[in-house]
Amino acid sequence: MPPATSVRARVRAELTDEIKVAARRQLAVEGASGLSLRAVAREVGLVSSAVYRYFPSRDELLTALIIDAYNAVGEAAEKADAACRRNDIEKRWMATCRAIRAWAVSNLQEYGLVYGTPVPDYRAPEETIVPATRVTVVLIGIIRDALEFGVITDQSGDQSIPRSIRSDLSVARTFFGGAVSDDLLIRALMAWTHLFGAISFELFGHRVGTVSDHDAFFDHEMRRIAHFVGLP
Amino acid sequence: MPPATSVRARVRAELTDEIKVAARRQLAVEGASGLSLRAVAREVGLVSSAVYRYFPSRDELLTALIIDAYNAVGEAAEKADAACRRNDIEKRWMATCRAIRAWAVSNLQEYGLVYGTPVPDYRAPEETIVPATRVTVVLIGIIRDALEFGVITDQSGDQSIPRSIRSDLSVARTFFGGAVSDDLLIRALMAWTHLFGAISFELFGHRVGTVSDHDAFFDHEMRRIAHFVGLP
DNA sequence: TGTACATCAGTGAACGCGCGTTCACTGATGTAC
DNA sequence: TGTACATCAGTGAACGCGCGTTCACTGATGTAC
């Protein structure tokens, strides 16, 4: 009886990984549109056609990289959050934001792949949806816990919110998994927006000449965004 | 005596424009990295080498497109702002934000070119800096006027702001052209960040499944950001 | 106003390159009896 | 445990394509006298 994972299967998994590692390295140098199956094959030491045993097309390889990127940033967020005491909401928020940015800074092209300009003529398949939400789940979890621990109160909002927006919020509410006002949901979505807006602005060069201590500025603004949401 | 703009010069200017128009059209279809001199030449009805009489390289053409894009979005912002009564700060803010988003929505790839993932191996030359600031100048102008008209007061801030950030703010303060607290400057930078963060999130597909009435949501959030800054 | 020369736009061929994907093949690994 | 067959990984050649850029050229437009 052959082992549950046969030699062939193990080697295959390893090579699949090697290909992805090479592809990521190439991505970092050339960007998403410069990613070439042939170049990847060369780096791994295969003939170009051999790569097709592992990925049926260039787009499938891109998809794999996108899923990996979402999972990587999601895992970074989850780990940073999990390393904090659960009732230390402030620390959890800052640690998570910082972890996400740190991942983005050290994986610039991968960040650009998922949060930058979409690759033209490439449609992200459904498999990317779940990994894409991991980060959001962490952020929302912190806000939910803040509510649960009574660290913030959810006064149901002096803000007048248009009907069409209110009906949009049902999906976001599902993520919350608890009673929450439209007002707080919107603030949460805005915080999420701002987090990635700030990272993109920095990494895509729009703060050159305006901000030099990016660490400090990011920290400061994420603290303010926390306050904006109602967090301590 | 030949006319100030000779026939040759006029034709040259026209063809230069035609080339840019074709390049923009191609950009919209293929994205920045798919932009090809040969394809542009084909569309204009020139042989590929002829384009070199107008742009010395593909990168120079890209630079021209980038400058045009910054100018287009800057002009859209300026016009929207200028169409409002100067003391109607709230309206000016919303009109400017909407105009920027509207331009982005209808010029997606051009937006991506300047606010998305940087094109790999392409370094934006200095000529792009001035056009890039036009939008910022408009936004800051509104806040400055709000201060001047006494619509907002600039209480110098309960927030504790780290030293390294304070020293960063001198450039932003220059844009302001008047006395302004560090606190208000930071809020302004954050509003600017949020504006483009929101547009990018929408256009790059990160609000799919969360927001469906993008117009309404954008309006609402930009109103809240205005309040965050202290605007009415 | 007319001629001689200089400038410039556009041509067409060529260089050298890389790409994604297909296909018939060899040889090694796994499977069933 | 050994043999016969099926599966699979990797090869190498080929197809058909497009790209940026250079270069010697023709013919038209502009300039100076």
pLDDT reading at B1 higher than 50: no
pLDDT digits (tens, 9 = 90+) for A185-194: 999 999 999 9
User: Which is nearest to B93 in space by CA: B231, B204, B214?
Assistant: B231
User: Which is nearest to B229 in space by CA: A125, A171, A224?
Assistant: A224
pLDDT reading at A158 higher than 70: no
3-class SS of residue A125: coil
Query: What sign does the dihedral A20-A66-B119-A35 (CA atoms) show?
Result: positive
Instruction: Count the alpha carbons within 13 Å of A205 in the hemisphere toward its beta carbon.
Output: 17
Q: How much is the average pLDDT of B202-210?
A: 95
Tokens of residue A30, six digits: 């050339």
SS (H, E, C) B118-136: CCCCCCCCHHHHHHHHHHH
Whether A118 and B32 lie within 8 Å, measured CB to CB = no
Whether A204 and B116 lie within 8 Å, measured CB to CB = yes
pLDDT digits (tens, 9 = 90+) for B134-169: 999 999 999 999 999 999 988 766 678 999 999 999
Whether A33 and B29 lie within 8 Å, measured CB to CB = no
What are phi and psi for residue A104, nearest 5 degrees? -60, -45
Residue with CA nearest C1' of nucleotide C7: B8
pLDDT digits (tens, 9 = 90+) for A221-230: 999 999 999 9
> Within its chain, how far is the Cα of B21 from the centroid?
19
Distance, angstroms, CA B44 to C1' C14?
23
pLDDT reading at B126 higher than 50: yes
Q: Residue A162 is nearest to which of B162, B212, B220, comparing CB atoms?
A: B220
Say what the pLDDT of residue B2 is.
Answer: 41
Q: How much is the average pLDDT of B166-190?
A: 93
Instruction: Count the alpha carbons within 13 Å of B72 in the hemisphere toward its beta carbon.
Output: 19
What are phi and psi for residue A8, nearest 5 degrees? -55, -45
Q: Which residues contact B210 (CB under 8 A, 6 or more apart)?
A: A168, A171, A172, A189
Say what the pLDDT of residue B8 is.
Answer: 87
Q: How sure is the predictor about A232, in pLDDT bands with cuts at 50, 70 and 90?
A: confident
Q: How sure is the predictor about A119, in pLDDT bands with cuts at 50, 70 and 90?
A: confident
pLDDT reading at B4 higher than 80: no
Chain C footprint positions (protein CB, under 7 Å) = 8-14, 18-24, 29-31
H helices of chain B, in order, are 7-30, 37-44, 58-82, 89-106, 108-115, 129-148, 163-168, 170-176, 182-203, 214-229
Distance, angstroms, CA A79 to C1' D4?
53
Q: How sure is the predictor about B173, in pLDDT bands with cuts at 50, 70 and 90?
A: very high
Shortest CA to C1' contact from A36: nucleotide: C19
Cα–Cα distances (Å) from A115 to A46, A94, A110, B42, B154, in that order, read 31, 20, 9, 33, 35
CA distance B126 to B66: 12
Least confident of A51-60, A132-141, B152-161: B152-161
Q: Does A194 touch chain B (CB under 8 A)?
A: yes
pLDDT digits (tens, 9 = 90+) for A14-35: 999 999 999 999 999 999 989 9
